[in-house]
Amino acid sequence: MELFRIVREEYARNLSSSGTANRWNLKGQFVLYTSATRSLSSLELIVHRGAIQNKFRYKVMVISIADEDQLIKQIKINKLSANWRTLAAYAELQAIGAHWYTHQESLVLKVPSVIIPQEFNYIINKEHPAFSGKVKLIRKEDFYWDTRLF
């Protein structure tokens, strides 16, 4: 399976993570947020950054995950609270992700996108024992933002 992550060029050297808290993880949990498509990855970046600064160069990181079902745990929307897409649900979602991370339930957590719930983001646990053998950065592509987005 190929997943996509768009980052500023200087962060595209390797599969690194800052351990910053986000929707599905707590501070100190080293995960990579990726998306099923380049387009969803770009929308996620725009939403999380508030705006894209065209003075930076961006890369699409194309990440390969072994096609093994046991490596992925999926969170279904019908198992989440009705307000899961709001900021008020952050604690609930972080608790789900933190449990998944600390118990190493799987290498990858497949979650619905808040932006487009019918599409998926994939959170990769960098501390999972399978990470080094099952996750590969296979290439980096130049990514150009359409100037109409600025």
pLDDT of residue 13: 93
Q: Sheet of 2-8: strands edge to edge?
A: 72-74, 108-112, 120-125, 31-35, 2-8, 58-65, 135-143
**Rounded to whole angstroms, how far apart are CA atoms 44 and 6?**
9
Tally of domains within the chain: 1
* CA 4 distance to own-chain centroid: 8
- The DSSP H or E segment spanning 40 is helix 38-49
Measured CA to CA, the distance from residue 17 to residue 61 in angstroms comes to 13
pLDDT value of position 123:
98
Digit-coded pLDDT (tens) for 34-59? 999 999 999 999 888 766 777 889 99
Q: What is the pLDDT of residue 51?
A: 66
Residue 150: inside a domain: no
pLDDT(140) > 90: yes
Look at residue 150 in the predicted model and tell me its pLDDT.
Answer: 67
Does 47 map to a domain?
yes
In angstroms, the CA 97 to CA 84 distance is 13
H-state helical runs in 75-127: 90-102
Query: Does 9 fall in a domain?
Result: yes
Rounded average pLDDT over 113-123? 97
Inside any domain, residue 28: yes
Q: Residue 64 is part of which domain span?
A: 2-145
Average pLDDT over residues 12-17: 94
Q: Which of 29-33, 52-56, 84-88 has the lowest mean pLDDT?
A: 52-56
Percent of the chain with pLDDT strictly greater than 70: 98
Residue 118 within any structural domain of the chain: yes
> What single DSSP character describes residue 71?
G
The residue whose two tokens read 């998926």 is 120
Looking at residue 56, what is its pLDDT?
87
